[in-house]
Structure 1
Amino acid sequence: MSNTTISQQFAQFITTLSFETLPPALIEQAKIRILDSLATAIAARDLPVPAIAAALVGDNRGRATIIGQARTVPAIDAALVNATLVNGRSQDDFLCKSHPGAVTLPAALALAEQEDTSGAELIAAVILGYEIVGRVYLGGPGMVSKFRATGVAGTIAAAAAAARVLKLDAEQTSHALGCAAVFASGFGAGFLTGTAEVKLNVGMACRNGVSAALLARGGATASPLAFEGEAGFYSAMAGTLDDIQYATQGLGERYLLEETVYKEFPVCIFVQTPMTLARELISQRPLPADTTSRITVTVSPSTYAFPGFTNVAPFKSSLHAKVSARFCVAAALLDKPIDDYAFYEHFDAADVLALAERIDLVIDPASKDRVTVSITDGNGSRALEGIEGETLLSSSDKVIAKFRRLTSPILGPKTETVLRDVLRLEHLPNLHDLTALLRD
């Protein structure tokens, strides 16, 4: 049993990790994660939620880039806006119930510009952010679905990435993580109503994490028992200390970034696997033209409990529909363009809504991550089963293709230059040429 606290163990890991000792395959995966986050951010530049976040920044000026804008702003402001950009399309990556790219890359990138950080150190900061977002969740999985993991664990991950870029020492980093634990917040009510606050929560998580690191650099302190203490993070967020050993178990022996899930469709992660199975079923045999088909989607209790998974029409916004298993599976079964962001603006499509009414959502109490989609029609019954997320692990080729598809209409010829720079990121002495390409 270690005599050091969770925040102290995290801080020691964050401050002592050497880029030179990282496995080459992990570095390659980290660059692909960065590329994926940049893809979704660039493609989201005209969406309303990032515009709301950018309006809050006002006329503030600093050294950090807002993706898609000509101006530069203070790091905490860039972190806020860029996090809403990465998360804006609901197409960013996923790990341990959080969207790690949306909170770690904007935090690290904003401060890297300010601090003249190298590409290698940016990679290390991102790897550490992914590690902490996952480990914070593993120490208290009961926080979901009471709280939104990205808003809660993500705040601490952003602080971890920021602390690394700022070169805080172990004591300062422990204080940064403790402050971030206090600043953490967020729940999923907006998924039930299709409103903007759940998207803005991602931006605030990133901003709060960066703020925690900057405050720690300025002398702010936090309880060394911020996580496991009687009145600490896990007591508040998870309601129990039963799982806290998993927060640090095997720290440094495996890297959670390698377990990150890729999102092809711009919808909630919890409907990605049912949609994939549904699409595969109709590729084998399309639905008959009559209206007698009955579809059943069977999932684990935790998936069923995610806010919005059981949403039904009338839908109030595209977000309201994009978390609905019934709407998304119906769209997949009807062979709609489910990989096209613009499709979800048609959340009142009559044929999709009619089929959605014939979809039953069922809980399998014994399942932790199994998903089954079955169809019963005049030709009998057929079903496919999968493990949640198993078809969503990314390859470099998939992400590079996604990057080109999402960004080339916006970046034009700069697309290949950005791609080249990210794929050789560890060789860049600083990020200024790369971030200049990301500005409008």
Structure 2
Amino acid sequence: MSQTVSETLASFVHRLRFEEIPVEVVQKAKTCLIHGIGVGLAGYDTDFPRIAAEIAGVNGRGAHEATLLYNGSKCTIMEAAFANAVMLHSRVQEDTHNTAHLGTIVIPVVLALGESRGASGKEILTALIAGYEVGGALSRQYTSQSTPRGFRASSVYGILGASAAAAKLLHLTEEQTAHALGFAASFAFGTLEAFAAGTMEWRFENGVAAKNGILCALLAQSGAVATKLAFEGNAGFLHAFAGNHKDPLKCVQHLGKVYEILNVTFKLYPVCAFNQSPVINALEMKKEFDIQVEQIQSIVIEMNDYEANYPGMSSKGPFQNISQTLMSAPYCVSSSLMDGEMTLANLKRFDHETLNQLIDKTIMIPEKTVNPLCNKITVELKNGQKLVREMSITQDFYNFETERDIEMIRDLRKEMQISSEQLEQLIHELLSLENKPNLSTLMPNTTAVS
């Protein structure tokens, strides 16, 4: 009898060895760590990490297992994973795999468990890669089917990666790892309605996924048993979230051969992944044509229909928070055309009269003929002139090499609460992580408030 999905995933996780992982995969894992932690530290000045840290501090009081990145205090492993995941997700500039932000969930898990268990750098990198590969295998195959049903990819697939990473760091047996993944398949969750409403639920979903991923591994370690058919069963994960449990082993057939972490991309700006290209295109138009706001008659944005129809993307306000503005293509494009930049501060101008007038002049057109991540923006001026710019790229455009990502993180340092020296030390520690016996020299440089 062939292995089930959870058994196949567990076999991969259990047998994964650092020495057998390709060099480019290890390097990408380091880049993900630099990006994830750096972006998280640059999200300090938002409400979400503060709220999460306060809750974690109360629930994890008295424990000294893991560090909260927000303020450097100690709490329980699970509470640290929760709060740190929220922080890594706070400015929405995290890494992306399809529409899942796996790093915001898996990285906090390996940091919390790795710190508490005194894990070596090699162990942490191996667990991190295991998490990305498990979450990525399912995300690659099923995101396009689960997202239109209203399920959020990050928390649905992220908990799978979190449980895999936790199982690896806890040194679970192969059978226990299969049970941990089975629990994760059962505990997976998250909907997209909050994006349309502009409310806060999705801000904390990734934190819950990180926390529960550890719980799944702890349950398995303690002898709890999950069904072997957690994924492909008639009422299992694949049927529930994707409406498709035919040929279930297709999603795991490339494990260890094609590494999904190599397909992880990075965001240049603190907006939704689907708004990255429209913002870049608008910024280039502003620079190329020297567009003046008072000259604009109308703005037309043509985007891939899947992206344009994602909850919140077509919103024209009224806006009350950055959860709404970073999702809105009309807001992001109008703001970029007006200012020639896109920063976290630019997303907070909810009552800006000129900006809102520009947003009102914007039309969104979903187009099946426009490829993902591509777009065309047409700006008509009051004198009748039409300025048109198309952006045609693939996801490789956002698949940065390590040095480029480091430069971007350095540019964000002014929005962090750490010094330039601390940031450089953090980068150095992460780039040489495989040589570290534990995280004792890394964690002091990850605290937002020094």
TM-score normalised to the size of structure 2?
A: 0.93
Aligned to 1:119: 121
Query: 1:225 aligned to 2:229?
Result: yes
Aligned to 2:37: 38
1:41, distance to aligned residue in structure 2 (A): 1.7
Change (3 A) 1:243 1:263: farther
Aligned to 1:86: 88
User: What is the letter of the counterpart of residue 11 of structure 2?
Assistant: Q
Aligned to 2:302: 298
Kindly indicate whether the alpha-carbon contact (under 8 Å) linking 1:159 and 1:209 is maintained by their aligned counterparts in 2.
yes
Aligned with 2:374: secondary structure? strand
Matches within 5 A, 1:51-200: 51-57=50-56, 58=58, 59-141=61-143, 142-145=145-148, 146-200=150-204
Query: 1:349 aligned to 2:352?
Result: yes
Aligned with 1:299: secondary structure? strand
User: What is the letter of the counterpart of residue 25 of structure 2?
Assistant: L
Give deviations 1:302-350, integer Å, cap 9, x for gaps: 2122111111121121111110010001111223430x21221113222
1:137, distance to aligned residue in structure 2 (A): 1.9
Change (3 A) 1:283 1:390: farther
Aligned to 2:372: 369
Query: 1:239 aligned to 2:229?
Result: no
Query: 1:27 aligned to 2:26?
Result: yes
Aligned to 1:11: 10
Instruction: Identify unmatched segments of 5+ residues in structure 2.
Output: none
Kindly indicate whether the alpha-carbon contact (under 8 Å) linking 2:373 and 2:395 is maintained by their aligned counterparts in 1.
no
1:300, distance to aligned residue in structure 2 (A): 2.1
Query: 1:410 aligned to 2:412?
Result: no
1:288, distance to aligned residue in structure 2 (A): 4.8
User: What is the letter of the counterpart of residue 351 of structure 2?
Assistant: D
Aligned length: 438
User: What is the letter of the counterpart of residue 158 of structure 1?
Assistant: A
Moved more, 220-229 or 327-336: 327-336
Moved more, 296-305 or 236-245: 236-245
Distance in 2 (alpha carbons) for counterparts of 1:399 and 1:370: 19
Give deviations 1:375-412, integer Å, cap 9, x for gaps: 23333342313236443222222221233233465221
Change (3 A) 1:228 1:294: same
Aligned to 1:437: 445
Distance in 2 (alpha carbons) for counterparts of 1:438 and 1:17: 27
User: What is the letter of the counterpart of residue 393 of structure 2?
Assistant: I
1:44, distance to aligned residue in structure 2 (A): 2.4
Give deviations 1:54-94, integer Å, cap 9, x for gaps: 22220241311111323211111110000001000111111
User: What is the letter of the counterpart of residue 72 of structure 1?
Assistant: K
1:243, distance to aligned residue in structure 2 (A): 6.4
Identity of aligned residues (%): 30
Moved more, 386-395 or 93-102: 386-395
Aligned with 1:117: secondary structure? coil
Moved more, 267-276 or 136-145: 136-145
Distance in 1 (alpha carbons) for counterparts of 2:328 and 2:83: 26
**Which of 381, 387, 394 is matched with 2:393 structurally?**
387
User: What is the letter of the counterpart of residue 4 of structure 1?
Assistant: Q
User: What is the letter of the counterpart of residue 87 of structure 2?
Assistant: L
Distance in 2 (alpha carbons) for counterparts of 1:389 and 1:294: 29
Distance in 2 (alpha carbons) for counterparts of 1:78 and 1:161: 15
Instruction: Identify unmatched segments of 5+ residues in structure 1.
Output: none
